Amino acid sequence: MKNSTSDNPRKKLTDKEKEVLAHDLFERYRLGKTTEEENKIIESLEVDFIPEKDFELTDELINEMDLDTKAFIFKHAGIDLDNPTHRAKKRELSLTIIASIASIALLVIGIFLFYKPQYHQTKNIEKQHVTTDAIKNITLADGSEIILNSGTTLRETSREVWLEEGEVFFNVKPNNSQPFIVHLRDGLTVKVVGTSFTIQSYAELSFQEVSVLSGNVNVSTPENKSLELAANQQATYYAAKKELTRESINSVQKAAWRTGTIVLESASADELSLRIRQLYGKEVVFENQSGSMSINMTLDRSMAINEIADEIAALYDLTYRIADDKIVFQSTNVTEIP
């Protein structure tokens, strides 16, 4: 009969070998290269070793833990670093002893450091994307695909994006264990798992919009208001009013800017000006225009600028002139004051 101990390969491992294997496991977990079964093992250990997770993993905390680890090793080796004799002994400490004691600390501290592998994965790969006068296609770090409209500034890490200005179409790669988060100005946050949607967030406009093409999207405000959106639904947020509303929309039309077509519905003069600047590089000026405008029309990059100007003038009873860098509209119902 074979000895049961010899049948178990784990019994044959030395402390040094166990340390190497543990280190390899945590390093692969940190890089996201562990198998599903290995992930389950590590996550099950979290329950025993890390019952509380209400902390922020910062560089300062990691440095502190590194010092604590070294102190742990020297303490268990009987070395007092305040003692001059022991400081000399520190240099003579056997590497085998250090490795043996480190293997004990590794299991606890290693899990603590790596149970959120995205921290190490994202802190050094932040990228910024800026578009000026052209639409740009980008593949993010997690494999999600986005399209940036002109005039857009965006920063990204793995599964997290900060849209500082502009308009973006997102086609998010599904990941049930790690939501995809978009941070907007005024504290607005968008969270998804895997879906496609468009965000419009221009600083010169008083509102921000999130329009869903497929899947589900959660939109939340700094006032702790939130909305769940499905396909063909849109959330609009007015920071000045602290107002978050939901409505049904044609999401395909909302995302048509990707091909150079912009559908305006009840748009303001400011939004019309923004869109003409994007499509034609010209500023719009309204002279002698009283009251607010509610504009409903379709702009297309393939149309000549004078065709667009003709349509605007006819719809809103205006005249216009086109200069090198601007279009000036003027009301035909101007009453001169004597």
pLDDT in tens, 240-271: 999 999 999 999 999 999 999 999 999 999 99
Residue 311 confidence (pLDDT) = 94
Give 106-128 pLDDT, tens digit per residue: 554 554 544 444 433 434 457 89
Fold held by 127-249: Jelly Rolls (2.60.120)
The pLDDT, as a whole number, for residue 331 is 85
Alpha-carbon distance of 327 to 165, in angstroms, equals 25
Encoded tokens for 236: 């609009």
Which tokens in the block code for residue 17?
Answer: 């070998």
**Exposed/middle/buried for residue 103 (C-beta within 10 Å: 0-12, 13-18, 19+):** buried
- Rounded CA-CA distance 78/86 in Å is 9
**3-state SS assignment for residue 238:** strand
Residues of the chain with pLDDT under 70: 1-33, 40-125, 290-291, 333-338
pLDDT at 55: 44
Domain 260-331 in the same topology as domain 127-249: no
Based on its alpha-carbon atoms, the radius of gyration of the chain, rounded to whole angstroms, reads 30
**Dihedral angle sign, alpha carbons of residues 215, 263, 222, 55:** positive
Q: What is the pTM of this model?
A: 0.62
Nearest CA among 255, 149, 244, 238 for reference residue 196:
255
The tokens describing 327, both together, are 């279009």
| Alpha carbon distance 277, 150 (integer Å) | 10
In angstroms, the CA 115 to CA 26 distance is: 9
Spatial CA neighbour of 168 closest among 202, 122, 218, 219:
202
pLDDT recorded at residue 290: 63
Q: Which CATH architecture has domain 260-331?
A: 3-Layer(bab) Sandwich (3.55)
CA-to-CA dists, residue 154 to 131, 165, 217, 264, 281, angstroms = 9, 7, 19, 24, 21
Q: How far apart are CA 133 and CA 170, in angstroms?
A: 19
Q: Where are the domains of the chain?
A: 14-122, 127-249, 260-331
Give the separation between CA 262 and CA 47, rounded to whole angstroms. Answer: 52
State the pLDDT at residue 221.
Answer: 96
Name the one residue in this structure whose structure tokens are 């040094």: 16
Chain centre to alpha carbon of residue 183: 6
User: Strands (DSSP E) along the chain, which ranges?
Assistant: 127-131, 136-139, 145-148, 152-157, 160-171, 180-183, 189-192, 196-201, 207-214, 217-220, 226-229, 233-238, 243-248, 261-267, 283-287, 295-300, 318-322, 326-331
